[in-house]
């Protein structure tokens, strides 16, 4: 049975999410909020990453330490995913970055790839797929399909808010992809926007309302 999404219910995340939802929040502040929330969600999403023991030299003596075993790749779905990816990359400055660009075909309503740039070794470790809004789930499924074709088998979807419809669609298509989000919202409206949601994340990030 597909797993329920991981809801990051930390008080700091929820307080910042309230500001992100507020229609009065301006683009500069919205970008700051998405970056910080993204980092906090990623902190929880990477809690079980594998590590190896290493020896390092402190200024005083040698010490046993733990290092990540596999390379982590952060992959925002353009363009809105960039807002959260910045905060996640701050958390993991040594992580690799890839990008996937998708647009919706207005005739078929299906996601169409227009850009894909991924590290050659993307399948060697966990991938964090970033998209602030999990609405219908179509874009997330297409992006996961693209990563699976590249051999990825540890894909974690990180989003700011999710609709039940999108969660179900992703779970049905890819039950092994865990979903991490700050909120499972009520529903989609008749044009595919999340309610209560926070509007169009890309437009709010870049002031293109």
Query: Is 181 one of the catalytic residues?
Result: no
Query: Is 185 one of the catalytic residues?
Result: no
Query: Is 51 one of the catalytic residues?
Result: no
CB of 111 within 8 A of CB of 138?
yes
Q: Which one of the listed residues 53, 55, 58, 108 is annotated catalytic?
A: 108
Q: Which one of the listed residues 19, 21, 25, 200 is annotated catalytic?
A: 200
Query: Is 136 one of the catalytic residues?
Result: no
Half-sphere exposure of 33 (CA within 13 A, CB side): 24
Q: Which one of the listed residues 32, 79, 104, 150 is annotated catalytic?
A: 104
Q: How big is the CA angle at 101 (ends 39 and 68), to the nearest 5 degrees?
A: 40
Select from 118, 79, 120 the least CA-distant residue to 99.
118
Determine the Cα–Cα distance for residues 182 and 6; give it in Å rounded to an integer. 8
How many helices, marked H, and strands, marked E, lie in the chain?
6, 13
Catalytic positions, please? 104, 108, 200, 203
């Amino acid at each position: 049975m597909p797993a329920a999404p991981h809801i990051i219910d930390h008080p700091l995340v929820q307080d910042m999410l309230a500001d992100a939802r507020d229609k009065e929040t301006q683009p500069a502040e919205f970008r700051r909020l998405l970056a910080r929330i993204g980092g906090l969600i990623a902190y929880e999403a990477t809690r079980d990453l594998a590590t190896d023991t290493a020896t390092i030299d402190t200024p005083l003596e040698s010490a046993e330490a733990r290092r990540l075993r596999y390379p982590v790749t952060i992959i925002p779905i353009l363009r809105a995913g960039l807002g959260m990816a910045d905060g996640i990359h701050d958390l993991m400055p040594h992580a690799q970055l890839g990008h996937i660009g998708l647009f919706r075909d207005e005739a078929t309503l299906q996601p169409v790839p227009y850009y894909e740039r991924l590290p050659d070794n993307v399948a060697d470790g966990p991938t964090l797929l970033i998209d602030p809004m999990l609405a219908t789930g179509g874009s997330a499924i297409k992006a996961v399909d693209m990563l699976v074709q590249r051999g990825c088998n540890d894909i974690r979807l990180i989003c700011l808010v999710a609709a039940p419809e999108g969660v179900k669609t992703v779970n049905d298509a890819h039950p092994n992809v865990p979903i991490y989000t700050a909120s499972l919202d009520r529903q989609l409206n008749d044009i595919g926007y999340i309610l209560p949601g926070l509007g169009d994340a890309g437009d709010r990030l870049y002031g293109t309302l």
